[in-house]
């Protein structure tokens, strides 16, 4: 017997994360495999993980801007390794939902046009999701597709939190704080409520720390505040992105330095952050293995700014009961977790060094006033569950 099958596509700037899920009898989507397609790798290969094993599957297709041939070959590769049964639909992660999208939607001509219109708000991410949606539409025009938005989780934030100190007309036009990494935070809120219900109902700060990084304040599982605002440039310094920056710096570079707009965009998105400060790498693991002062300063700056944003969100919440680390750095880098928590000792954050070193779920020291957890995130599961809910309805 076959069951409806769901495909999830999570587009990055140079890779695509793929999830494969079954939905039996209207139940929650159940993962049967996942993969990643590195679009910069030559020759192209799909890395597949299923049943505890990992394999590389060659993708014999030339990369192109529309990805038609690459996606077609990828679907063929998946079909050769899975008894897919009936393909129910495909769910996509879309970074920006603007003022219109407050939850997942089925993609049609109108919603696709609205997603495209939001590209100026997320120029680094939105185009990659759009080309996957269009490629799948081209290859399988009758296949239902859904979009899950990173901004949607944050619509519960108060208007005061979302407002910049700019003229009200600009706020009304959409220049406001949106927040991102919402699919990750939605999963953490759900998992925390399942694993530790008493903690999940309280005042929580979750730190999604990866090549893109942000922190989010939650109360009762709802977003209250976040470090990212209008764009994915805001908040913490990231792998190659600058994080919070005095707007006067931009005026200076544009006016005094006569920096072209595209060059400025490239500077802020691709040449700043850990890479810019260290001068050598955007990867925390690489920097931790270097002995130079610039590499050490990049790591220290990341920890300083992360701790500072966590403390600021504590002010919004009126206190912090629980701190959760997630994503690549948050889940796997004990040294960075210790560096951040060391700067939060005044808030009552204290780590058990041994538990932290082995990446245990609970890593706070006895007597600490703040519970500290490490919870792996799963954006693909959220996309699949939301796609199933939309298509099922």
- pLDDT, tens only, 321-337: 999 999 999 999 999 99
Q: Is the pLDDT of residue 393 over 60?
A: no
Q: For residue 318, is it left (φ>0), alpha (ψ between -120 and 50) or beta?
A: left
pLDDT bracket for residue 123 (50, 70, 90): confident
- Which CATH number characterizes residue 128's domain? 3.30.420.40
Based on the domain organization, do 130 and 209 belong to the same domain? no
Nearest-10 crossing angle of helices 126-139, 68-81: 70
Q: Are residues 136 and 201 in the same domain?
A: no
Structural domains counted in the chain: 2
- Same domain as 340, residue 214: yes
Q: Is residue 289 part of a domain?
A: yes
Same domain for 208 and 332, yes or no, is yes
State residue 258's pLDDT score: 96
Please check whether residue 379 lies inside any domain of the structure.
Answer: no
348: pLDDT strictly greater than 60: yes
Q: How far is residue 207's CA from residue 343's CA, in Å, rounded to a whole number?
A: 15
Same domain? For 142 and 203 the reply is no
Shortest CA distance to 16 belongs to which of 152, 163, 125? Answer: 125
User: CA–CA separation, 87 vs 284, rounded Å?
Assistant: 39
H runs (alpha helix) in the chain: 68-81, 109-117, 126-139, 159-162, 168-173, 182-195, 197-200, 247-255, 261-270, 273-278, 284-288, 293-317, 327-332, 334-342, 353-357, 379-392
**27 vs 34 pLDDT, higher one:** 34
For residue 110, pLDDT beyond 80:
yes
Averaged pLDDT, 112-132: 92
- The confidence score (pLDDT) of residue 1 equals 42
- If asked whether residues 206 and 312 sit together in one domain, one would say yes
Instruction: Work out the number of other CB atoms within 10 angstroms of the CB of residue 261.
Output: 8
Catalytic residue check, 321 = no
Higher pLDDT, 71 or 115: 115
Domain holding 340, by residue range, is: 197-374
Assess whether 201 and 144 both reside in one domain: no
What does the pLDDT read at residue 61?
77
Verify that 141 and 25 share a domain, yes or no.
Answer: yes
Whether the pLDDT of residue 3 is over 70: the answer is no
Q: How confident is the model at residue 124 (pLDDT cuts 50, 70, 90)?
A: confident
Give me the catalytic one of 25, 38, 108, 150. 150
Count of other CB atoms within 10 angstroms of residue 393: 6
What pLDDT was estimated at residue 369? Answer: 94
Domain-terminating residue out of 149, 166, 185 = 149
- 51 — pLDDT class (breaks 50, 70, 90): confident
pLDDT tens digits, residue range 277-292? 999 999 999 999 999 9
Q: Are residues 74 and 134 in the same domain?
A: yes
Tens-place pLDDT, residues 282-318: 999 999 999 999 999 999 999 999 999 999 999 999 9
| pLDDT of 56 | 80
What pLDDT score was predicted for residue 26? 56
Assign 27 a pLDDT band (cuts: 50, 70, 90): low
Looking at the fold, whether 201 and 339 belong to one and the same domain comes out as yes
Do 113 and 224 have their domain in common? no
Structure tokens that stand for 46 in this block: 């799909």
Which percentage of the chain shows pLDDT scores above 70? 97
């Amino acid at each position: 017997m076959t069951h409806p099958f769901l495909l999830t596509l999570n587009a990055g700037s140079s890779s695509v994360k793929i999830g494969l899920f079954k939905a039996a009898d209207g139940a929650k989507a159940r993962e049967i495999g996942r993969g990643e397609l590195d679009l910069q790798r030559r020759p192209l290969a799909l890395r597949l993980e299923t049943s505890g094993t990992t394999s590389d599957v060659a993708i014999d297709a030339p990369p192109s801007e529309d990805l038609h041939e690459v996606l077609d070959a990828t679907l063929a590769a998946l079909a050769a390794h899975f008894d897919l049964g009936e393909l129910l639909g495909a769910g996509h992660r879309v970074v920006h939902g603007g003022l219109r999208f407050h939850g997942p939607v089925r993609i049609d001509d109108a919603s696709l046009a609205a997603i495209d219109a939001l590209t100026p708000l997320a120029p680094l991410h939105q185009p990659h999701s759009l080309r996957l949606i269009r490629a799948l539409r081209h290859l399988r025009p009758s296949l239902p597709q859904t979009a899950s938005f990173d901004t949607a989780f944050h619509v519960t934030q108060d208007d005061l939190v979302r407002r910049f100190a700019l003229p009200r007309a600009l706020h009304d036009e959409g220049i406001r704080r949106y927040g991102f990494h919402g699919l990750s935070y939605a999963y953490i809120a759900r998992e925390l409520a399942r694993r530790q219900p008493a903690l999940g109902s309280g005042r929580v700060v979750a730190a999604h720390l990866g090549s893109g990084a942000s922190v989010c304040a939650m109360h009762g599982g709802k977003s209250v505040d976040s470090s990212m605002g209008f764009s994915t440039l805001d908040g913490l310094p990231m792998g190659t992105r600058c994080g919070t920056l005095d707007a006067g710096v931009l005026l200076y570079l544009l006016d005094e330095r006569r920096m072209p707009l595209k060059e400025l965009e490239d500077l802020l998105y691709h040449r700043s952050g850990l890479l810019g400060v260290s001068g050598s790498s955007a990867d925390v693991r690489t920097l931790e293995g270097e002995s130079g002062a610039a590499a050490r300063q990049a790591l220290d700056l990341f920890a300083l700014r992360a701790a500072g944003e966590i403390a600021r969100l504590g002010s919004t919440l009126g206190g912090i009961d629980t701190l959760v680390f997630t994503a690549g750095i948050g889940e796997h880098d004990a040294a960075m977790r210790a560096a951040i928590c060391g700067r939060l000792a005044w808030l009552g954050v204290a780590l058990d060094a041994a538990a932290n070193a082995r990446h245990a779920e609970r890593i706070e020291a006895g007597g600490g006033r703040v519970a500290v957890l490490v919870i792996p995130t799963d954006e693909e599961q959220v996309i699949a569950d939301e796609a199933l809910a939309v298509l099922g309805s």
